[in-house]
Structures are given as structure tokens and as C-alpha cells.
Amino acid sequence: MSHSDPDIFMTHGDRDEMKLDEIEIDLKNPLVAAVLGWLCPGAGHLYQRRYAKGILFMVCILATFFYGLSLGGGHVVYASFGAEKHGTAAKSWKRFLSRWHYGCQVCVGVPAFPALVERFRMDEGKDPLLGGWMTPPYGPESPENPGGHDQLSDWHSELHFFFEIGTLYTVVAGLLNVLAIYDAFGGPFIPTSAEPETPPPEDEES
Amino acid sequence: MLPLLFADSFQRFWYLFPLLVAISFVYAATREELMRPILHKAGAVALWILGFMAIIFAILFGVSWLI
């Protein structure tokens, strides 16, 4: 292996420690770090005392997420699972597929949870929290929507391009956090050569 | 080409750059451990993405101009 290639060492049967050149990384409990990293981007690295990377992940991912949320008028994440159909909450995969982006957005963790909470509260007929700021869109026949408009369509019509670009930003933020979670779980991904090291040439005379 | 980038219809291209920065930093941070290599790698990744997108943009622009 050449000098420029990073040397990675893991202890036998254990993924908790790795050595990257002269840098020794203590991954502590990788599963805990991964869960923390999912709940809040960068938190897994902070738990592992990898502060610089933790702060870098936290700033980049959360800034991307909240910038996208603001571009989308605060609706692009909480427009989860589509609108109600004919005044009743359609509990099926169709509702998820109509807003599949949430599957990526939820990888950011806690900031995307209010969408689920508010959707379940709406399904059970409970009042929304925080003045309804994070509620999903009402359907055209919902009693809470006397105008009779499909609120999700109204948001699209009102925000145009910004609804799409806001959705894109929040989806990318979620996907970036998948990379960060993997880094917290397994350490930096260094592609290593699949070829085995060539043994030193044997002395022909001996 | 430069005035084109400031035209109204191309204003939305500017939303590419915050994403480019975030993606470059996060991708680089998953490949390196120390800040200095992360910064170098992020710059390289950003240039690679920009170059790749510029090539695709030029191809599509040329095709749309021909049609």
C-alpha cells in the first residue's frame, strides 16, 4: 500500500474503533450515534466527540432544510401525505405516494416530525398545535376549509416555483443526513483497493 | 452567455449554489476526518459538480438552439 493510501484498522470483531493514518477515531456506540444523528443532524458526531464534523453536518443540513422550508412558505414538509379525499382521511399508501418527498424529508429527524404528529391529530379530529402552523393541507370537502378549495393546490398555485425548489432543498437535506448517519455509524468512507497487497519479491538466491 | 445568466428566466439557477455548497461539504466530510482535507475535498467536489453541470447545460443549450 502506498504512503498516500489511508491505513484503516479496526479491532477484531469490533467496529467501535478505527484508525485513519495517525488519527484514531472512537466511534463509541455506533448504533446510538446513528440514532442521535437521525434525530438531529450532527448530534451523533457530537456524541462521539467529533465536534468539527458534527457542527459542519448540523449547519449544512439544518440550514439547507430550513432554507427550503422558508422558500416553500413553511408548507413543503408539513404538506405530508396529501390532502383528505372527500372529507375523510384516506389511510392508504396512496396518500403517502402523493407526497413521497416526506420519506426523504423525515431523514432530517425531529424537524420533520410535526408533520406526522399533526396528521395523526387531524385524522383523530383533534385541534392542531401551535395555531395550525404545521398542519397538513385540508381537502376540498373538509369542514375546516369553508372555501371549498384544495389547500395543497392553493399552495402550489400561490408559491409556484418556490414550492418545488423548497421541496427539493428539504429532500436533499434529508438525503445528506443519510450520509451523515452512515459516517456516524461506520466512520469516514474511504474506498480501499480490492486487490490484495503484492508480497515482496522473494530472494531468488535463497 | 453572461447576460443570459442574469436574465429573469435564468434567475432560478442561483438557487443551485447554496445546494452546491451544502452537498460539497457534506460529501467531503464523509470522506475525510480533519477540517483541512475536508475543505480541499469540498472545493474539488464543487468544481466537479459545476463542471459536470456546465457540460450538460452546454449540450442541452446547443440542442435547444439547433431545434
Note whether residue B37 is domain-resident: yes
Closest residue to B23, CB basis, from A50, A176, A182: A176
The pLDDT assigned to A86 comes to 44
In this structure, is residue A195 part of a structural domain? no
% residues pLDDT > 70 (chain A): 67
Count structural domains, chain A.
Answer: 1
Q: How far apart are CA B28 and CA A53, in angstroms?
A: 10
Q: Does A175 touch chain B (CB under 8 A)?
A: no
Domain around B32: 14-66
Strands A8-10 and A23-26: unpaired
Check CB contact under 8 Å for A179 and B15: no
Instruction: With CB atoms and an 8 Å threshold, state whether A67 touches B34.
Output: no
Contacts of A6 (CB under 8 A, 6+ apart): A20, A21, A190
- By Cβ distance, the residue of A50, A57, A172 closest to B23 is A172
- What is the number of structural domains in chain B? 1
Q: What is the pLDDT of residues A51-72, one digit of tens each?
A: 999 999 999 999 999 999 999 9
Residue A122 has a pLDDT of 77
Q: Which residue has the cell 451523515?
A: A180
Domain contains B47: yes
pLDDT of residue A17: 64
Return the higher-pLDDT residue of A138 and B37.
Answer: B37
Helix (H, G, I), strand (E, B) or coil at A206: coil
Say yes or no to pLDDT of A77 above 70: yes
Q: A10: which strand partners? A: A18
Residue B63 exposure: Cα atoms within 13 Å on the Cβ side: 6
Indicate yes or no: CB of B22 within 8 angstroms of CB of A64: yes
Residue B31 domain flag:
yes
* CA distance linking residue A74 with residue A77, whole number of Å: 7
Residue A45 lies in a domain: yes
Residue A127's pLDDT is 80
**Domain assignment present for A100:** yes
